[in-house]
Chains A and B, each alone.
Chain A
Amino acid sequence: MGSELIEACNIKKRYQMGEVTVHALRGVDFTLYDGELVVILGHSGSGKSTLVNIVGGMDQASEGELYFRDRPLHNASENELTAYRRSEVGFIFQFYNLMPNLTAYENVHLAVQIATDPLDVDPLLEQVGLIDRKEHFPSQLSGGEQQRVAIARALAKNPRLLLCDEPTGSLDLPAGKQILKLLRDFCSHYNKAVVIITHNTNISYMADRVIHLKDGLVEGVKENSEPLSPEKVSW
């Protein structure tokens, strides 16, 4: 197990929805290490997206403490969170969120521009198998291809942590598998932490660790001594 990357203690998150207070997270504790692939599993409403948003610096906890390599994030300012996202975190979403009027290459380059220690664009596109399509715009790419561009974009910044919110949610099985393989490769080759959020239990078989979330609480943590290779995952 690598060194400690994220430490979350008693994270709580409340939303005010009109007159009702929603308790999205009720006190979550967990730790994340360099080089591990973690799947956070839970049904919709379990609080998994909220947790990832907080860990990724897109949102802040109402209570509790969160550290990135001993750096406190729970009381970080907006600017500090931006800097954190900029240098340490890569995001991948279900709906890709690419810039529609930038080519594949340019989308990745957009991330390179702001990173302190970026990776080269072409090798990344090579790695995700899109080097021949790098001048294509998102509307000219399939869903799987778009998600691969999104992955290349997230990796380009050379982040320590990759957060993926239902990355295969909109894809068919072969395309989904390709994505999962890329994530696993990144984790192993570069020794980076990857967190995948999903409600799909089958995906959890490829994780080093699985965190079960239910009603805003950690229901259980399971370590896979022999994680499945992504090619063998099926749903």
Chain B
Amino acid sequence: MLFRKMYRDIWSNKGSYLACLVLVVLGLTTYTSFSISSDNLELSKEIFYREQNFADGFAELTAMPYRDAEGLAQIEGIDQVSGRVTREVRVLYPESDIGIYLKFVSLELDNPDRVNDARLLEGNELRQGEFEVWVDNQFYDVHGLELGYVLEILAGEKAREITVEGYAMSPEFTYPLRTEAEIYPNPEQFGIAFTSRETMWNFFPDLQGRVNNLAFTLEEGTDFDEVKDRLEPELEAYGLINLYSRDNQTSHLILSEEIAQLQRMAFAVPLMFLVIAALILYIMLKRLVEQQRGQIGILKAFGYSNREIMLHYLTYSITVGFIGGLLGGTAGIYLSRPLNWLLLEFFHVPEIDVDFSLYYFVLGVLISLGIFLAAGYQGCKYALKLKPAEAMRPPAPVSGRKTVLEKIRLFSSMLTIQGKMAVRNLARNRSRTAFLFIGVTLSCAVVVVTWSLNDLVDKLVFYRFEEVEVYHARVNFTEPVSRQPVERELAEHAEVTGVEPLAEVPVRLSHAWREESVVLLGILKDSSMYIIRDAAGRRIEPSEQGIILSERLAEKLSVEEGTSLKLASPYLRDNEDEQTVEVYRVIPQYLGMNAYMEITGVEAILQQGKFATSFMVNVGDERINPGNAEDYWDTNDFREKDLVRANIAGLRDYYRESDLVAGVDGTEEQIRETRELMETFGMVIYLYVLIGVVIAFSIIYSSSFIILSERNRELASMKVLGMTSREVFSVITFEQWFISFFAVLAGLPLAQAMMEGFSRELSTDLYTIPAELSAQALLMGALITAISIWIAQRFALRKVERLDLVEVLKTRE
């Protein structure tokens, strides 16, 4: 019978219980799906690493005889070594107008137990020395390749034809990025290709019998740093560019970070939802028990024990927790699959189907039940204290009191009578006011942070094109070229309106025991195409003597402006030598981690004469300044855009057969490609905004209903006085807007704190997330929160309209 009572009680207040339930379902859906997905991804990663014998360390070199590389296995602590030949080549698709590149990596076909083995997903085994290749599965899919397709590539001075024998994936390239300046893999333009060592030697005669990359595994229980100390001297002679552990390997780093992030989200997001739902339920139950004190008295008078009564009220919260748990868990299991697919879109990891679902399902339901039991107990423990006779008497009348705020004359005189009622109610129900405040604060902060992150990702990606690298295209060379003749040659093209050289030099910078391998960029002093900027966006001229470092790099090396650094590079005339340079400036850099110098300064250090590794060119009408690329590319001057496109295509055509030109990259294509890739992420942003809306909505909705049920008498009296439903409701809305105003204000510092947390958590060597809130985000946060509040209030207003005056006023409180 009591069950029926519960059912009817819940039904009569179904809106608020539903809001609670929605929060629980959302929370558990996130919990289950994120947990399953992160576990799946983690396990896939582990199995994949083990089965493909993923390396513990990597080295990039200028060149080293293959035999010497094999000998490195003798070094204490090293288990297996694989000497590899890697080179990036351009793919010559006749129909494509963008630069497409494949990074070729040699496989040791003669070693069945090879390090960093690629897993063939479909196709035929490769043969030593044959012009056969496996490409990575994403590249294969995106380009619609088929087995037996003949790719034309530009490798080592010639156009070559190579047959696609299969598609594969490798633990080394679970998240293949072409350069450090990218955040998303872009299989449209970049992929990985695996072929035999002999084939690579055939393609690149300059590396005949030699390797330029090492992957090695360590013996069980060996520390990478110890091995590094032993290995480094051995490799110096071969032009060591970079020696790093698995922990610093790009794909591994990003994949591990993603898994960790999923795990954090699987914990934090559901917790937020469940806590808010539990708070709502706690307040509702507390109210219900107060309202039903007469009924409780009668039940007690009948002889119902405290435990039975407690159990009765606990079933309210258990029901919500249990139904929410079941629904959320089930939804989570179903959602984990598409979430997995989405993750596998970005991470090239084999899909495995492990059934974690039941575990997380049961755990989710238990967590939900636990939280709701606690909330329910807190909410209804008051019922236990009541003595039957006392319970059947009405509660002591509500006492009114002026608030401290009203002692402020100015404030008090500004308030209408309704305003005074609202302020006093807020002061009276402090716990509920706190709940309202916390909820709205949280909701606003979630929206602001999400929106800011969205803006920031934009900034991260486009800042580079808008403010730093402002040119139409970049002509890349396969090896350093003599600066002046090439610059002259490029300038001679009729369509080229500006040329500037760029020298990209791998360097190892060290300060005390700290050491980082990065790319040093040599730029013209008065460059108009590559503009280095300080935090305030002001232009900084590169220096000939001093080196400019990105903030993160300076931090990692623990240096500041004026500190002297040691610089080593395989490009140094004597590559065992070390040079000393002084830090000239430290600048913010969102993507990647670089060092900068004036190009002549770089040349002076390397003592290799004047050289460049690529050239930036402008190919449009000189009168248009591409200085602001965003504006420029958004311009509607289609004629100009078409001209630039046509000119880039012309340049590309011209150098199609050149062995020296690795490719011509158009800036606009890169912007467009990036933009397309980022659209997927837009979805995630909307999801978070929805979370903010749901929180604000359910809190305002349930708080309105609690106020309505608690004060229906007051509200009805006002209606009888002749106030319209809206006027009556304005007392409630005044309360809510009043507290929401301060809550939104408080949401901003909270958002700032959350953003700083995100910045710390998410910033890696690959990208830096500045802890900045955008003005637009602040505005959107406040606006979206306000709209959710407004909508929730419309629902509650209907209840005021339907308030039964006669019924309410005739009964004794």
A and B associate: yes
Q: Which residues of A contact B (CB under 8 A)?
A: 49, 53, 56, 58-59, 79, 82-87, 89, 91, 93, 95, 97-103, 106, 109-111, 113-115, 137-140, 153, 157, 165
Could you tell me if B424 and A101 are in contact, using CB atoms closer than 8 angstroms? Answer: yes
Smallest Cβ distance from B737 to chain A, in angstroms? Answer: 18
Contact bitstring B708-729, A, C-beta under 8 A = 1, else 0: 0000011011111111100100
The answer for the CA separation of A91 and B424 in the assembled complex, in Å, is 25
- B417: which of A82, A100, A106 is its contact (CB, 8 Å)? A106
Q: How many residues of B contact A (CB 8 A)?
A: 31
Are the C-beta atoms of A101 and B400 separated by less than 8 Å?
yes
Which residue of chain B is the closest to A96 with respect to CB atoms? B717
Nearest chain A residue, comparing its CB with the CB of B813: A95
For B715, the closest partner residue in chain A by CB is: A99
Nearest B residue (CB) for A107: B417
B812 within 8 A of A: yes
Closest chain B residue, CB of each to CB of A53: B806
CA distance A106 to B401 in the complex (A): 12
CB closest chain-A residue, reference B424: A101
With both chains docked as a complex, state the minimum distance between the C-beta of B287 and any C-beta of chain A, in angstroms.
16
Q: How far is the CB of B416 from chain A (nearest CB, A)?
A: 7
CB-defined contacts of A87 to chain B, threshold 8 Å: 722
What are 8 sample pairs from A and B whose C-beta atoms fall under 8 A apart?
A85-B722, A101-B424, A102-B400, A102-B424, A111-B721, A114-B721, A139-B400, A165-B810
Tell whether A139 pairs with B723 under 8 Å between CB atoms, given A58-B806, A97-B713, A100-B714.
no
Cα A100 to Cα B805 in complex, Å, equals: 18
Task: Verify A114–B810 contact, CB threshold 8 A.
Answer: no
- Additional pairs, 4, CB under 8 Å, beyond known A83-B722, A99-B714, A139-B399: A97-B809, A101-B398, A101-B421, A137-B401
Q: Which of B398, B721, B812 contacts A95 (CB 8 A)?
A: B812
Contact code string B687-725 (vs A, CB < 8 Å = 1, else 0): 000000000000000000000000001101111111110
Is B647 an interface position by the 8 A CB rule?
no
What residues of A have a CB within 8 angstroms of the CB of B813 in the complex?
A: 95
B contact residues vs A (CB 8 Å cutoff): 397-401, 416-418, 420-421, 424-425, 428, 713-714, 716-724, 727, 805-806, 809-810, 812-813
Q: Which residues of B contact A101 (CB under 8 A)?
A: 398, 400-401, 420-421, 424-425, 428
Q: Is the CB of B722 within 8 A of A86?
A: yes
Nearest CB on A from B351, distance (A): 59
How far apart sit A111 and B721, CA to CA, in the bound complex (Å)?
Answer: 7
CB-CB under 8 A from B812, the residues of chain A are 95
- A59 and B806 within 8 A (CB): yes
The 8 A-B pairs at the shortest CB distance, nearest first, are namely A86-B722, A137-B400, A101-B400, A85-B722, A139-B399, A101-B424, A97-B717, A100-B398
- Say yes or no: A157 contacts B806, CB within 8 Å: no
CB distance from B421 to the nearest CB of A (A): 6
> Chain B's nearest CB lies how many Å from the CB of A156?
10
Chain A residue at smallest Cβ distance from B398:
A100
A165 to chain B, nearest CB (A): 8
Residues from chain B with a CB closer than 8 A to the CB of A165 are 810
Chain A residues closer than 8 Å to B399, beta-carbon distance: 100, 137, 139-140
In the bound complex, residues from chain A placing their C-beta under 8 Å from that of B805 are 53, 58-59
Cβ–Cβ < 8 Å partners of A115 in chain B:
722
* Cβ contact within 8 Å between B421 and A102: yes
Closest-by-CB residue of A relative to B721 is A111
* Complex: A87 Cα to B428 Cα, angstroms: 32
Knowing A95-B812, A137-B400, the reply to whether A102 touches B420 (Cβ < 8 A) is yes
What B residues does A93 contact at CB under 8 A? 809-810
